[in-house]
Structures are given as C-alpha cells and as structure tokens.
Amino acid sequence: MATGRGRLLQLQWSGLQAPRLPLGVGSAPGRTGFRNGPCIRYAAGCATLKQHARRERHCERASADCSVSLDSMPSEILLKIFSYLDAGTLLCTGCVNRRFYHLANDNFIWIRIYSTAFSPKRSNWKVNSVEKTAVTMNLLSVEDKEAGYWKKEYIAKQIASVKAALAQVLKPVNPYTGLPVKTKEALRPRWHSLIAKYNLSNLTASTMFGCDRLIRIFCLNPGLLVGLWKREEELAFVMANLHFHHLVERSTLGSATIPYELPPHSPLLDDNPEYGLHGYQLHVDMHSGGIFYLCGTFRNLFTKKGYIENGYAKLIVISFKNNTEHLPLIGKVGLSWRTDIFDGCIKSCSIMDITLLDEYGKPFWCFSSPVCMRSSPRPSDGPNFLGQTYYVDYMDSEGKVHVQLVWIEETEEYFIVNLVLYLSIAKINHWFGTKY
C-alpha cells in the first residue's frame, strides 16, 4: 500500500515537472522506466505550456491595442474617483482639462465636502433641529443649483472662516502703537501673496546706502536693502523691512501676481477749523539685529495752519529749545548683516519704524525703512552744541522725517536734539476730508 502511494505521487510529480523541462530533454515514449502515464502527462504539459504562451502573447497584443487612459473613462467612474479626493486635490484636478473642470464642479461631491467641513455643531444630548433641517434641505436642493455652486460656497465659507480667525487673533491692540499685538502669530505660511515689486537694475550711486570692508548696500523703497560684494559686484544678501500695519492682510489676501489693495478710506467729517492738525500720537523705533537704539512714544502732537508750507504741515516732536525732550541713542549704532559665511555691521545705519496715529487712534502714516546718519556740512539753525552734528532724513509720498543728532565725545553717545515730521497736505485732506 505504501509502495502504491509512492508510485502515485511520483507519477503526479513527473507530470508537474515535465512542462518546466526544455523541449527535447524529456524521454521519449517507451524509453522511460515507467509506464506510458508519465509520457502522456509530459505531452499534455507541453501543450499546456504552448497554450499559456499563446494566451500571454494575445493578452499583450490586446492590452497594446486597447490601452485605457484616465481621460477615456466614463464620467460615472471618474465622478466616483473624484468623490474620494479632498478639496485641495479636487481643485487641482479641475485644472487638468475642460472635461475634468466640469466634472470637478459636481455639486454632489462638493456638498459632501462642505457638509463635512462645516457640519452643524452637536451637543452631548441632541442636534439642533433647525441646523439639521437646513442640511437636509441643502442635500435635497443639489440638483436645483448650477454646476459649481457648492464649490463656490465652500471656498467663500473657507475665506470667511480664515478672516474670522485672523480677526480674533488680531483683536488685541497695543495702546502705544495702535497695531495688533499678535501680528507675528497671525503670519503663518498659507499661500503666495505679492507685497511689493522692485527693479534691481536701478542700483546706482544715488541709491547707495552705506558700506563696510566687504559689501556695499543699496536701498530701494519701500524698505528693501540689497547687499553687493565689493570685489565681485555679486549679490550678497537681500533684506526686506515690512511694517506691521496691514501686513497680515497683505500677506494673506493678495495673490501671487496682484497685491492686496486697502479698502477705500471714508473720512470722518468735523467742523473744527483745526481739524486734522492735532491729536497725533507718534511711536518711533530705531533698531538693528534685535537691538533697539531708540524706542519712544510721543502724545498730543499738533501743528497749525501757519506751519503749512510747500505742501507739508510741520509737526515738531522734539524741539531744539527744550533740553528736557532730548533723547540719547542707546548702544553703538550700526546695521547688522549676515550671510552663510560672513557677517558684519555698517556703522551709523539702522532701521527706523514710524507709526503715527490720528486723533482717533487709527494708523495715519506707517513705514519701516533703513536710515543712515550723515555728517552735517554746516552748523544747524538751532543752538550750538558741543559736538559733531549729524542728521537722518527719510521721505516718501505721504511725508518726510528729519532727525538731528549730536555726538557727545565724553559719553560716546548720540543725542537726538531735533525730530520733525512733515505731513503731506494731500494725505491730510484725503484722510480727514479737509481742504487745506
């Protein structure tokens, strides 16, 4: 019995092994030590092998002739595939071609995404019946809406939710600057938003800002610093200085090609004959590399009609005549720069941040720009000081800043002895609705 089982297994094994042998290697009928069984199985195995090879060649030809692309699939299958995509991927899919765009606008897909993202809030006990009814009605009215309706609703709701979240973060305001306290926390990377454009071909001697032994730096408004190596005249670094005022909106609500535009300003009219010339508050910082040389706040600033000259209103912040108003700059003034290999400091240069609030506490004029102290070629119009006199000037379309400093050799520090703002009358008239 054992011998019979062994012979049966041997016969089956021979039949399985036969198709794996090369043609001509197997024994011919009658020349094996076995009966005709194994030879019959070998012949059957060869036939099976040939049939399998023919089937594979046929399948290869069929697959080559009948290749299926994603675009050739029926719309029903594509819609089923699209239903598994998230909102971002679905929006990208709609940019492939015209057909995918129309399919990716399917309301049934988008209402599911919308309902998942903005599902009604559930309590531990029950669902608000009004919210549940509203969702049900939305599902029933899918076919009544034009294609892409729920995609637009989803995008609009997402934008509104982002704006609401940003408004909540930016709600606390600094009483000194009138600007949001948590601007840095709100500046999270989301998408590309154009803030400013610069033409680097305009780097000339007139825009040269300062230099040290390694680099020369050029300044382009608004607030861009470009450093070039002295020897090779190649780019060393680029430094952008951005004021916090409306920086969140400019960084999130613009596009990659179009910058964010501020909403039109509506002036608050007042019959005061000096309206728009008083009640200002100034916050000024001078800093570099995290070191602040000056940080001051000045309240109840005003000017008069008699101070209006050449299209500017003169706003005196620190006067020559009042020694109690003179302020020192703390530390050695210099603009720090750093690359991957080198670093340095350009003497007498720094970054100036100006935030001027109107009488309602709203930002009236804001900028952040590099400035440089220049040696005064002639004595000042004010009192004579024991020390070399320097000045800092800044100008843009909304106003000018003039700072005069004196270097005190004994204490080795700069003192601000005069600080004057010149406000553009055109900006005052536009902001307050006046006609100066």
Rounded to whole angstroms, the Cα distance separating 294 from 9 reads 98
Quick one: 198 exposed, middle or buried, by C-beta within 10 A (0-12, 13-18, 19+)? middle
Of 89-98, 128-137, 139-148, 210-219, the least confident: 128-137
Other CB atoms within 10 Å distance of the CB of residue 240 = 13
Rounded to whole angstroms, the Cα distance separating 226 from 240 reads 9
Neighbouring C-alpha atoms within 13 Å toward the C-beta of 19? 14
Amino acid at 117: A
Rounded to whole angstroms, the Cα distance separating 365 from 379 reads 30
Rounded to whole angstroms, the Cα distance separating 154 from 113 reads 8
Which of 10-14, 54-58, 74-78, 401-405: highest mean pLDDT? 401-405
Residues 404-421: what's their mean pLDDT?
92
Residue 6 pLDDT greater than 60, yes or no: no
pLDDT at 381: 55
- Give the tens place of pLDDT for each residue, 183-222: 877 776 667 788 888 888 777 777 788 899 999 999 888 8
If you ran DSSP here, which 8-state letter would residue 388 be given?
E
Note the helical H segments in 213-252.
247-252
Other CB atoms within 10 Å distance of the CB of residue 352 = 22
Of 63-77, 256-270, 343-357, the least confident: 63-77
Which position has the higher pLDDT, 331 or 203? 331
Q: How many Å is the Cα radius of gyration of the chain?
A: 39
Q: Could you tell me if 364 and 356 are in contact, meaning their C-beta atoms sit under 8 angstroms apart?
A: yes
Two tokens at 39? 């030879």
Of 127-141, 251-265, 295-309, 337-351, the least confident: 127-141
At residue 182 the predicted structure's pLDDT band, cuts being 50, 70 and 90, is confident
Two tokens at 159? 């934008």
**Strand 343-347, strand 334-338: pairing:** antiparallel
At residue 17 the predicted structure's pLDDT band, cuts being 50, 70 and 90, is very low
Q: What share of the chain is helix, strand, coil (3-state, %, to 5)?
A: 35, 25, 40
Instruction: Enumerate the β-bridge partners of residue 363.
Output: 357
The DSSP string of 49-67 is HHHHHHHHHHHHHHHHHT-
Quick one: 192 exposed, middle or buried, by C-beta within 10 A (0-12, 13-18, 19+)? exposed
Neighbouring C-alpha atoms within 13 Å toward the C-beta of 89? 8
- Separate counts of helices (H) and strands (E) for the chain: 11, 17
Short-list 142, 428, 143, CA closest to 280: 428
At residue 392 the predicted structure's pLDDT band, cuts being 50, 70 and 90, is very high
Short-list 414, 424, 396, CA closest to 219: 396
pLDDT at 317: 96
If you ran DSSP here, which 8-state letter would residue 348 be given?
T
Which of 188-192, 266-270, 285-289, 419-423: highest mean pLDDT? 419-423
Of 151-160, 186-195, 229-238, the least confident: 186-195
If you ran DSSP here, which 8-state letter would residue 123 be given?
-
